[in-house]
Amino acid sequence: MAFKHLQIFLIVSLVSSICFSITLSRPLEDELTMQKRHDEWMTKHGRVYRDTNEENNRYVVFKRNVERIERLNNLPAGRTFKLAVNQFADLTNDEFRSMYTGYKGDSLLSSQRQTKTTPFRYQNVSSSALPISFDWRKKGAVTPIKNQGSCGCCWAFSAVAAIEGATQIKKGKLISLSEQELVDCDTNDFGCGGGLMDTAFEHIIATGGLTTESNYPYKGEDATCNSKKTNPKAASITGYEDVPVNDENALMKAVVHQPVSVGIEGGGFDFQFYSSGVFTGECTTSLDHGVTAVGYGESMNKSKYWIIKNSWGTKWGESGYMRIQKDVKDKQGLCGLAMKASYPIV
């Protein structure tokens, strides 16, 4: 009898210890799954770390980001956009902001601005005549998505995209132009250290234009200006104009005429991991990034959006683009996109 009891006791304790060990190992299992995800992510994005110490630190950041992305994507209220574990998933938001944006505040502008702006020429365009949706990509005025890499020269990509568009509209030819020429040669701005689209326009007016992307290719780092490569010029501008501040309707009038450079607050977590849908995420109006508005539209359920061309490669957002909520209550526009918009005159 005693022996049997002992047997039962053993079986019970064995079963309970199995159950116990399963509950215990659940977090362990999650941890292993997450580590596997990190490994796969590293392979997918070609990420190599210096040593295991760095890998471990990056893993902690990766895990925190993945968990937050999944929590936000699963919010029961449902959001109008989705986030994804993209190429920025092993960067803290502070690191991301300092590496991938690069828009300088207005202090730069007031000290550098000559008097090249002319008044907003689209003021008298009738609002009621504006189409419900408009997309410069469909009209062949937008070059393929580019990638600034970890160089804070968004301002160069934004200015260049606006000039590429204006040139195509005026001359009928879409030519990819050089950002690196601006990074290296535009002394109004600070290369990978940041800059402004308007001061880039000033520089381009002063030097007579920009050469092509292929003639002065993008390196993604500061280098000395190679004056031999800056010729021949492939596009030039005669001036630029600012869109009236805090007026999404004025921005719309401009965007139907040409792609427009806009300042935006693009350094937030939602922006970092945006993947699809109409962005209505968290952001401020402390402009830190430059992008280009290339159109606007209305989704199935009538939510209005701008189409923004970014310079973070095609893996970010909707193949490199973002749809972001348009006509918000705040006059400054979502993420401040109506605060500092301007366009070049070809």
Ligand X SMILES: *[C@@H]1O[C@H](CO)[C@@H](O)[C@H](O)[C@H]1NC(C)=O
> Which residues here bind ligand X, judged by CB under 6 A?
78, 80, 119, 121, 123-124, 301, 303
Contact 312, 151 (CB under 8 A): no
- Between 73 and 207, CB nearer to ligand X: 73
310 as an active site residue: the answer is yes
Write out the two tokens for 249: 């309707």
Q: For 260, how many CA atoms within 13 A lie in the half-sphere containing its CB? A: 30
Place of tokens 């992305």: 69
- Between 107 and 128, CB nearer to ligand X: 128
Q: What is the DSSP string of 62-80?
A: HHHHHHHHHHHHT-TT--S
CA 216 to chain centroid: 23
For the CB of residue 119, give the shortest distance to ligand X in the complex, in Å. Answer: 6
* Torsion sign across C-alpha atoms 306, 309, 312, 315: positive
For the CB of residue 304, give the shortest distance to ligand X in the complex, in Å. Answer: 9
Place of tokens 């600012």: 242
289 as an active site residue: the answer is yes
- Between 41 and 279, CB nearer to ligand X: 279
How many whole angstroms separate alpha carbon 260 and alpha carbon 204?
Answer: 16
How many whole angstroms separate alpha carbon 220 and alpha carbon 223?
Answer: 9
- Between 188 and 258, CB nearer to ligand X: 258
Task: Name the H helices within 113-239.
Answer: 154-171, 180-185, 197-207
Catalytic residue among 154, 192, 283, 335: 154
For the CB of residue 277, give the shortest distance to ligand X in the complex, in Å. Answer: 8
- Which 8-state DSSP code applies to residue 312? B
Terminal-residue alpha carbon distance, the chain: 100
- Between 78 and 232, CB nearer to ligand X: 78
| Active site residues per annotation | 154, 289, 310
